[in-house]
Chain A
């Protein structure tokens, strides 16, 4: 089952505005990752935040993590039309075979209008 749940499911903003996407999860985690997917393409890793971190920055991206609330947020500042994509959070779980696997949320579809 999908552990991560993002909201909103869809977000439409104007270029230059900030976009905030949220993710909630259910179990304990070692880290939480955010990925981006352009339409009809594979995923690109954006950022990882460890369970002992509260905030992390990478360029125009800012990720927060609240383990007490089991939630994370991804903020994209000064958005650009090229940021239009779907964004997924992912947490790690263990497969039946003992390997680590990623469990993805349902994603937020972001549209940045020029």
Chain B
């Protein structure tokens, strides 16, 4: 149990376009979902926390208008990278947890390349 999926696993887009990444909890209801960004050979940096039905809370330095997060249901959160630029190229990972558990369940990640 506790499976989190992400789609797509890899995406290549042109500079200036927008890309949407989906994160789904497949067999549990996630009250909280997290979006992380990971640069090569580095650790995960939390971008934002989203609770179902409410606005996401962004970490300091993360542009809300550039990284749009929607947590419309207890099983789905989306991250949209708007007007993508090459510097947005990165590995984006989501995780999900329930209110009752300390553990975060991570998706497999999405590799975004902006050309």
Contact = CB atoms under 8 A, between A and B. Distances in A.
Interface of A: 2, 31, 33, 35, 40-45, 48, 88, 92, 95-97, 99-107, 109
Nearest to B4: A42
A48 B40 CA distance: 26
Contact of A103 (B41, B46, B103): B46
A99 B102 CA distance: 12
Interface stretch (B14-22, B72-80, B81-89, B106-114): B106-114
A109 B34 CA distance: 24
Nearest to B42: A106
Contacts, number: 63
B25 interface: no
Given A43-B95, A43-B106, A101 B42 contact: no
Contact of A101 (B43, B49, B108): B49
B106 A40 contact: no
Interface of B: 4, 6, 32, 34, 41-44, 46, 49, 51, 57, 59-60, 91, 93, 95, 102-109, 111
Give the dominant DSSP class at B's interface: strand
A40 B44 contact: no
Contacts of A2: 43
A98 B43 CA distance: 23
Contacts of B41: 109
A22 to B, nearest CB: 15
Contacts of A43: 44, 93, 95, 104, 106
A32 to B, nearest CB: 11
A107 B44 CA distance: 9
Nearest to B57: A97
Contacts of A92: 102
